[in-house]
Every structure is written in structure tokens, then in C-alpha cells.
Amino acid sequence: MISKLPDVGTTIFTVMSSLAMECNAINLGQGFPDFPMSSELTDLVAKAMRDGNNQYVHMNGLALLRERIAEKCAKLYGAKLSADSQITVTPGGTYGIYTALTTILHPGDEVIVFEPAYDSYIPNIVINGAVPVRISLEYPQYSIPWDEVRQKVTGKTKAIIINSPHNPTGAVLSANDIAQLSDITMGTKIMIISDEVYEHLIYDNLQHESILRYPDLLEKSFVCFSFGKTYHCTGWKIGYCVSSAPLMKEFRKVHQFNCFSCNSTVQFALAEYLLNEDAYLSLGKLMEKKRNFLRKLMSNTPFKLIPSHGSYFECYSYAEFSDERDKDLAIRLTRENAVATIPMSSFYKDETDNRVLRFCFAKKEETLERAIQRLVS
């Protein structure tokens, strides 16, 4: 058989998580919390099951959940959305991104991708016969070089993928970034895939510049979100995609044959839980406290901070004390110190190595404290 993804192997997350289990290491690599989620939400799931809500819901998602999502988007971003024609519930944010790309891409199309990039983007492009056009974010701020974007746009450019707050770096796009994006795509047929799964994990009093704030951009965008990141239930794999009605009509043509219907009981529970606005509005402060706690602990190590302003992650440079390749150091720290991280070169197609490791701080304080004690011991 000829592989459709010949250059793709096992993801670095699987590799490092498996190594962490083998070495009984504390896993600060993969982005999942180790603290409990809301008992109110789990009780709502149990209630939905007991109430008999265990069969298929509508292909587009439970109507009440889509209505509550529309209400939330209106309150947060001023977006006037149709729950019927612009919102589709998906089995996770990654699925939403894949489906959006599959909806629009044809062989030979080009998609601009910023690296370091979430690891699904490029395989999603390639499997659809399209061409990833890679642009490196400017290290160490991990900002977008907009002049280079303009140079890389061609007649074949079908889409630009943006991600804010950014995984893996925690960088956050500004209003000026959105203005630059708007200027580049204005008057063109270029579409936007906006990965906003960390929308509520944003810090330092910054504002999340969601595409939903910009009606002209939303007309040509697919905006992907995740309940898993918001409610500490990444294993549920449930999210949603928002777009203009014409684009969402095409999205659903792909969706119906790939998923058809997402977990019903969870959707009933989420529809009810969304009424608790504090559950997502308070998330930023909670996670910012964890980020700051990690910073305090890491100040006792030789690692140099590269500030994060969002997401589950913060990056640290080790260039001042080691010449090791980042993958080698990550493996060594897992084996010798029993702490697993993620090497940043894994987020570049050409494995650009700036000697940086990514740490996940979405953990209990005692977990973070034990991990950093192991690093300094």
C-alpha cells in the first residue's frame, strides 16, 4: 500500500507520554490536567443518562446546546450567530480543523501554516492533496512576520491557519495581527482556519481576539473551539465549529459522513452547564495562577523563561547551559530526572532546534512542585 502520509510517524506526544510511563515520570509534556473537573458537570452527564438521553442527537449537534453556544458568543464577542446554520458540534477541536480543511482543499491548493505548529495541521493539509507553506514565527516572541506572509501568498493560496492562544508557545495574537490578516485577505478568496481551543486560557489582562469579533473575517473563516480545554475534560473530545452559513453548509456535508452525531449525554449536560458563566469566565485567572507558580519554581533552575500569555503551556530555553538537541535533553530529563517535557523542534517540519522545551502547567501545584524538585535535585 502507498501511504497517504509517508513522512508521518508516531506523534511526539505519544512518544514522550509512553516514555514517561516507562520511567514513572511526572508528565509535563502532553496538555491534559491532572486535577478533577467540575462535579456539577459530571453530575449533569449522569442525570442526562438517567433521563434517557442516550440516543443520537441531531447531526449538527443538540439544538439547545447550539443555542447556548450562540448566546455565549454574542455575550463574549458580539457575534450574531444562527444556531441553526452557523454552529456545528464536533468530536473535539482537532476534528473541526480537519473537517474544515477537508471541506475547502483541492489537490495543489496552498495553505499558510505558522511554525512551531500544532502537529495535526500539516498532515491534515497533505492528506487532502494540498501543499503546506511553512512560515516560522519570529523567535523568541513567536510573533507572525506579516511581511513574509505577504510574500508567500500566491494565486494558489486557499487558506491561512491561525492559532491564538497559541499551542505550543502560549503566544497571543493582538488586534494589530488581526488587522494585518484582514488586510492580506481582503478582496481575495483566501479562507481562514482559526484554532481557538484555548479561548478562555488567556492571561495578563489580554483580550482574546477571536475571529468572531470580526464579521467580515468570519464570512470566510472556520473557527474551532474545545469544551475539553475549557472544562478540564480533554478525554471527552467534544467541541464546535463556527462559520458563515454558506461555508457551514459545505462543512456539514463532510461532517455527516465522518461523524454524523457526537456524544449525546455530554451535549445535554453541556447545554445546562453553559448557563454557569463563571465556570469559563474564571478559568483564565485559575490557570494564570498555575503558570505563575511554575515560573516561581522554574526560577530555581537554569532554564530561561520565554513568557506565555495563554494556553496550558510555557516554553523555557536551555541554550545558556547545554548544547544538546532538544529531543535528546527531553529524553534524558525523562530518564534521569523522571520529568517529561516536549521538545519544541517537534513542532517544526524541518525540526528547527532553538534549544527550547515546552512545559504544561495545567497540573496540581503539588505535581508542579514535585516535578521541579526533581529537575533541581
The grid coordinates listed for 326 are 532538544
pLDDT tens over the chain, length 377 residues: 889 998 887 788 888 889 999 999 999 998 889 999 999 999 999 999 999 999 999 999 999 999 999 999 999 999 999 999 999 999 999 999 999 999 999 999 999 999 999 999 999 999 999 999 999 999 999 999 999 999 999 999 999 999 999 999 999 999 999 999 999 999 999 999 999 999 999 999 999 999 999 999 999 999 999 999 999 999 999 999 999 999 999 999 999 999 989 999 999 999 999 999 999 999 999 999 999 999 999 999 999 999 999 999 999 999 999 999 999 999 999 999 999 999 999 999 999 999 999 999 999 999 999 999 999 97
Closest to 265 (Cα-Cα) out of 40, 33, 44, 20? 44
What does the pLDDT read at residue 22?
94
- The per-residue pLDDT for 12 is 82
Give the chain's mean pLDDT. Answer: 96
Which string of DSSP letters, residue by residue, matches 297-333? HHTTSS-EEE---BSSEEEEE-TTT--S-HHHHHHHH
Q: Report helix, strand and coil shares of the chain as percent, to nearest 5.
A: 40, 15, 40
User: Which one, of 151, 118, 113, 148, lies nearest residue 132 by Cα?
Assistant: 113
pLDDT in tens, 6-51: 888 778 888 888 999 999 999 999 888 999 999 999 999 999 999 9
Residue 247 and residue 190: Cα distance in Å, rounded?
Answer: 13
Query: What pLDDT digit, counting tens, does each position of 322-348 carry?
Result: 999 999 999 999 999 999 999 999 999
Helical spans, DSSP H, in the chain? 12-22, 39-50, 63-77, 93-104, 121-127, 146-152, 175-185, 215-218, 227-230, 245-258, 264-273, 278-281, 283-298, 326-336, 365-376
Tell how strand 87-90 and strand 221-226 pair up. unpaired
This prediction has a pTM of: 0.96
The one-letter amino acid code at 187 reads G
CA 354/CA 367 separation, integer angstroms:
27
Q: What is the spatial order of strands in the sheet that 221-226 belongs to?
A: 87-90, 239-243, 221-226, 191-195, 157-163, 110-115, 131-136
d(CA 356, CA 276): 38
Helix (H, G, I), strand (E, B) or coil at 275: coil
Q: Does domain 12-30+282-376 have CATH number 3.30.930.10?
A: no
**C-alpha angle 288-145-143 in degrees, rounded to nearest 5:** 10
User: Is residue 17 within 8 Å of 27, Cβ to Cβ?
Assistant: yes
138 within 8 A of 277, measured Cβ to Cβ:
no
Q: What are 144-165's pLDDT values in tens digits?
A: 999 999 999 999 999 999 999 9
pLDDT on residue 30:
84
Protein fold of 55-278: Aspartate Aminotransferase; domain 2 (3.40.640)
Domain boundaries, the chain: 12-30+282-376, 55-278
